[in-house]
Structure 1
């Protein structure tokens, strides 16, 4: 008689009570979802922001998106053929690297692929990425969008931010007539520069969401057949 893969006891790494409870919850949810859905997608979600996860969960009502540490996902799927929960699920576990998410769904692979190929989200630039544009704060009164839109459509940046601009970001500002003022233009970055932490924070402060975030599709797993299609 074939051995049941569901009855095997799996030990999770020791940790504090709260951490262990979370690991057990994710472990159980992965295995429950494997019993309920036809397909599992491994998604690459490095540096994912909360709005992206909210979008996916809202757009995929009826499906299930789970994020967890790589080791917990591997344990739930199974590390080896002997430990796998479903046929070939141990092979899927090996693809969970970095920050991975598992999307469990009954939608066809064509539907899922079309969605994530089309999905993009405006995002703030990160440190160590390339600047997507030139950005210079104009001289004169400092506005909240830093010259990206006409001044008549903008508002002056709050005077309470002057100390942060001057001390934290080393922008030579001063207060003049109750408003933040620059005597000359301040170059933040040029297109193609590798951004440091300060530059990235300045761009975010001025609402420059010039980067795009895309969700990477790593593989699709057919639960019934055990077939894995790496992408």
Structure 2
């Protein structure tokens, strides 16, 4: 029999693509922020944690505005050359909007912005693919921190465990991860169970624009295409 056209699988996880109107809204919001605030910064981030970043952004809500998203859209908002820049010299910022980068418009003094970014860091559990910052090895013996119900789950993560009189026991030494090596999904889950946090969410200032000057904070950056 032919397949009924009525019986179709509908994917509920599909989301509508953000179109031209959404991009134009971001461009307009950035242009308005450049009018409302005295300076603009490009920053990069490592080990992004959305909730932590949201909290950091809330702390600066009264003094500035953050933008994350398409680098291309942010570049368009700033202007990519002298000919289309929205403020004198601000197109230089767009050259640094590459990779994991964002934009901050603020009224805070330069020294205060630098201090807040330098002091900010949040430790969290590393995710799959992250590079281990240390070797973690579990020694043979009882694992008292785990209940007997956890034994099947630990075995699924590759740990050589067994139940001994209701106590989870590691039958031989086990290396969870090696320093400098990417974490497997099992290693990342095991580190979380052990309470070991290897990821640090940090924000790094790259450069700053004000009506008076343009300053670069990372001297190792390629400046060959900066006019």
TM-score, with structure 2 as normaliser: 0.76
Q: Match for residue 98 of structure 1?
A: 99
The equivalent position to 2:194 in structure 1, one of 206, 221, 224, is 206
Q: State the Cα RMSD in Å.
A: 2.5
Deviation at 1:138, TM superposition (A): 3.7
Gaps of 5+ in 2: 1-14, 218-227
Deviations 1:5-45 (A, max 9, x none): xxxxxxxxxxx964124323322211110110001111102
Q: Deviations over 1:164-213 (max 9, x none)?
A: 4323x2222234455543222322134x3323323334223322113433
Aligned pair count? 200
Q: How does 1:123-202 map to 2 (within 5 A)?
A: 123-126=124-127, 130-143=131-144, 156-167=145-156, 169-190=157-178, 192-198=179-185, 199-202=187-190
Q: Encode CA deviations 1:52-99: one digit per residue, 9 max, x unaligned.
A: 312321321211111111111111111222221111222111110112
**What SS class does the counterpart of residue 205 from structure 2 fall into?**
strand
Residues 46 and 19 (structure 1), Cα distance of their counterparts in 2 relative to 1, 3 Å cut: farther
Task: Note the residue ranges of structure 1 that are not aligned, 5 or more in a row.
Answer: 1-15, 144-155
Structure 1 176/29 Cα, relative in aligned 2: closer, same or farther at 3 Å?
farther
- Residues 25 and 184 (structure 1 numbering): CA distance in 2 closer, same or farther, change over 3 Å? same
Q: Which position in structure 2 is the counterpart of 1:42?
A: 42
What's the offset of the Cα at 1:220?
Answer: 0.7
| Residue 46 of structure 1: how far off its partner (Å) | 4.1
What is the Cα deviation at residue 111 of structure 1? 0.5
